[in-house]
Structure 1
Amino acid sequence: MDFFTAPDSRAAAAALEVCQEYTEPWLLHHSLRAHAWAKAYAAQEDIAHDGELLYVAALLHDLALTAPFDSHELPFEEAGGHLAWVFAAGAGWGRARRKRLAEVIVLHMGDDVPAEDDPEGHLLQVAVSADVSGSRVGEFTPEFRAEVVERYPRLGFVEAFTARFADQAARKPGCAAAGLVASDWPRRVRENPLDLPAR
């Protein structure tokens, strides 16, 4: 089964173009890996979902960590939700679908979302946690893990991503990123099994 091909839609193509234009290669690859993890996990667990919505959310979920879209006041996931709403409006999505996209992006930094309540939100949470801190990464086969990282190399992801989160935490001490930075999250990111072969 193919877990790497984007949905055939104008919105999906535009999301990739935006990500390619505004994110560094390490962050672009993180977003593409997140989509692959999410699709594979959905297949493993038989979670029905909206493929286009999931793809666009995966591609745009960290866009507010980049300098052009960084908010000085809002947590990056909230700023990203607003940005995604604007993107979706430009893509011609209706208001309800724009709201769903924004919700999925905001929730990826929140408490666990059950698949039965929000399949796309759940899948993005699982995928991002696997890619960032190695949570549940063992639920994917070693062969698939190797294929994902071969297609979309990590490119110094650990150092760059933890530095970006540390910056968010310093400027926005009440945000979710600050809570993670103050926990054992940095250690878990450094010890992600996905990075072990490169060490």
Structure 2
Amino acid sequence: MRDHRPERSVDPPDSALCRSAADLLRRTAPAPLVAHCHRSYALGAALITNRCEAYDAEILFVAAALHDLGLTAAYGHVDAHGFEHVGAAVAADLLRVHGGDEQRATLVRDAVAMHLELTTGQDPRPEVAALHVGAAADVLGIGLDRLPDGLLDDVLQRWPRVGFTAWLSAAMQAEAQRRPASTAGRYVREFGFLQMLAAAEVPA
């Protein structure tokens, strides 16, 4: 299903699937992460419209809502190579519970599982690319200059960044210690991710 979303929309589709994903996020994640996931959806949706005319907004929202669940206390204990694979499995299962076919389940799984990879922003599947660029915009400020005028202010008013940088820094340090061979572990250890996060020029 392809559903074109207006450029200025900061809200997900009003569907049972999206409401279920939002509820799961609220029940399991701290407030800074809840806000980050909503910002990632809104920013990713705005940025991907520069490249494509239509995309599956439900898939993008479910992926955005659940992409960091593996960093939470509720899911951090799950055995996986990296936190992104935890969220990927949860997102795919949620699609199936709501009657989604395997094609859509695979799409949401890939969007979450691949969101940390540096090349994912060029993935031909808009839902996969959109989560990557939306999360990167929110975390590191990448691509914020390509947003429509006023959209970032709208997003930050709706979903403030209060406490997010400190929460993510602590969560990524814990992930790197728990799973040193994971993608997050390599980013922290080899690429100075925590320093990049602290230095990111992202409006508060």
Normalising by structure 2, we get a TM-score of 0.88
CA RMSD of aligned residues (A): 1.8
- Counterparts of 1:109-148 in structure 2, within 5 Å, are 109-113=116-120, 115=122, 117-141=124-148, 143-148=150-155
The Cα of 1:84 is off from its aligned counterpart by 1.4
- Counterparts of 1:178-189 in structure 2, within 5 Å, are 178-182=185-189, 183-189=191-197
The aligned counterpart of 1:194 is: 202
The aligned counterpart of 1:6 is: 12
* Change over 3 Å in CA distance of 1:135–1:2 after alignment to 2: closer
**Which residues of structure 1 form unaligned runs of 5+?**
none
Superposed CA offset, 1:78-118 (max 9, x none): 11111112222211211221121111100101231355622
1:166 aligns with 2:182: no
- Distance of 1:50 and 1:99 partners within structure 2: 13
Alpha carbons 1:133, 1:185 under 8 Å: kept:
no
Alpha carbons 2:8, 2:151 under 8 Å: kept:
no
1:39 aligns with 2:45: yes
1:21 aligns with 2:27: yes
The Cα of 1:68 is off from its aligned counterpart by 1.4
The aligned counterpart of 1:150 is: 157
* Change over 3 Å in CA distance of 1:6–1:162 after alignment to 2: same
The aligned counterpart of 1:96 is: 103
Alpha carbons 2:107, 2:128 under 8 Å: kept:
no
Structure 1 runs (4+) deviating above 6 angstroms are none
**Which residues of structure 2 form unaligned runs of 5+?**
1-6
Identity of aligned residues (%): 26
Structure 2 counterpart of 1:64, one-letter code: G
* Change over 3 Å in CA distance of 1:2–1:139 after alignment to 2: closer
- Aligned with residue 83 of structure 1, among 90, 100, 108: 90
Relative to total residues, which structure has the larger helix share, 1 or 2? Answer: 1
* Change over 3 Å in CA distance of 1:73–1:98 after alignment to 2: closer
- Distance of 2:149 and 2:54 partners within structure 1: 24
Alpha carbons 1:169, 1:178 under 8 Å: kept:
yes
* Change over 3 Å in CA distance of 1:78–1:194 after alignment to 2: same
